[in-house]
Amino acid sequence: MTIIPVAPLTFTSKSVDQTHAVGACLGKELISGDIICLQGDLGAGKTTFVQGLAQGWGALDPVSSPTFILVNTYHRADQNILFHLDTYRLESIPEAEELDLDAMMMEGTLLIEWPERLGALIPAERLWIQFTHLNQEERQLSFNANGERYQQLLNTLQLFISGGI
Ligand SMILES: Nc1ncnc2c1ncn2[C@@H]1O[C@H](COP(=O)(O)OP(=O)(O)O)[C@@H](O)[C@H]1O
Ligand SMILES: [Mg+2]
């Protein structure tokens, strides 16, 4: 099958509700093995996006920021698992290796805040979302897909966003 490269997708969110809505759209599509990287400064909206995503995915547990415990785990009625990793407080790459990303990807879907801290541990194929703080209420979300699976997800997001939120 031919892979058609997709241009990166950019969206300006004007509210928390809009960020939740785009997150929920993505969450509905995610399956076990998917990996989503969320990059951006503190307060850029990564965890807010995860709240919407987890709701769309069908999480039974509330989302909280895993800053101190590194990984939160959310469950769904069908036993699927959503891992929410935040490497902000990670000290070193050896410490990162102990997290065993491969095991998480085998068992469920993986969301990573501060993915740039994991360097080469991040798989080449993933959806990468860059969050930029524009002003008090606005955040820019830039989506980059690597791999066919993530290009499909990006296409779905593109359709959702172009339909108006
Ligand atoms: N359009 C928006 N999208 C996301 N968050 C927003 C938006 N406008 C304001 N905010 C606020 O910005 C903050 C984002 O925090 P958070 O999601 O925890 O960021 P991060 O996880 O990137 O550090 C929250 O207080 C949220 O209410
Ligand atoms: Mg956060």
Is the minimum distance from the CB of 48 to ligand 1 under 6 angstroms? yes
What are the pLDDT digits (tens) for 76-131?
A: 999 999 999 998 888 777 777 888 899 999 999 999 999 998 988 999 999 999 99
Architecture label for domain 17-162: 3-Layer(aba) Sandwich (3.40)
What are the pLDDT digits (tens) for 27-80?
A: 999 999 999 999 999 999 999 999 999 999 999 999 988 766 689 999 999 999
Is the minimum distance from the CB of 20 to ligand 1 under 6 angstroms? no
Domain extents for the chain?
17-162
What is the 85 CA–ligand 2 centroid distance (Å)? 9
pTM for this model (two decimals):
0.94
3-state SS of the chain is CCCCCCCCEEEEECCHHHHHHHHHHHHHHCCCCCEEEEECCCCCCHHHHHHHHHHHHCCCCCCCCCCCCCEEEEECCCCCEEEEEECCCCCCHHHHHCCCHHHHHHHCEEEEECHHHHHHHCCCCEEEEEEEECCCCCEEEEEEEECHHHHHHHHHHHHHHHCCC
Which-ligand-closest: CA of 46? 1
| Pocket mutation for ligand 1, best pick of 11, 12, 16 (most atoms within 8 Å of C-beta) | 16
